[in-house]
Structure 1
Amino acid sequence: MDVTYHVALPFVMADDGVAAGEAVECLRANAAVMRAEALSRKTGCAGAVAFSRTGDPSSGDFSDARLIRRCRTCTLCDRHEPIIPRPGSRHRPTRAG
């Protein structure tokens, strides 16, 4: 059964540039946008994105992420390679409202 996850993902300043922060899973797309906007305003944050992914959690088969919104300037968002953590990666979203 396919499930859609809505996620806010901040990008934080690191010693060697910019790194993905802790992803936050949200119940709806608009909640992910609002959370990404709030995260992007935090000190040390280079920006944030809100995205969604649809797939089957039991098989691990997910579609590519669909960018919903970019918040602030996030130069990583302009790259052509995937920046969204894959299921099973060490970056796990935490649930938020």
Structure 2
Amino acid sequence: MLIKFESKKVAPFIMQSQIAEQILTMAGQGGRIEGSISGGAISEALASLEKALSEQSEIPEESIEEDEEQERISLAARAAPFREMLRHALQIDCYVMWRPE
């Protein structure tokens, strides 16, 4: 399944549900496959997501197997569009919503 993310004046994007659920959980949204956030919840979600991603990057290299390292890098890269959408929504004071596509 695919999840579509949308916000005002930002191009929507689609993400695989498994990855979207991980990223939404990291952002404090409980991995819901449909929802929205606005106002102060956006800054909280952005802070939670950035904290979770930075904690992942602090894992000692010797404790990461090659496959896990690929996933960690991939997850951070895949979170980038959502992070940018949250930042933009925070700047213009609007919503971010997501739903199954």
Structure 2 length-normalised TM: 0.26
More strand by share: 1
Q: Which has the higher helix share?
A: 2
Max radius of gyration: which structure?
2
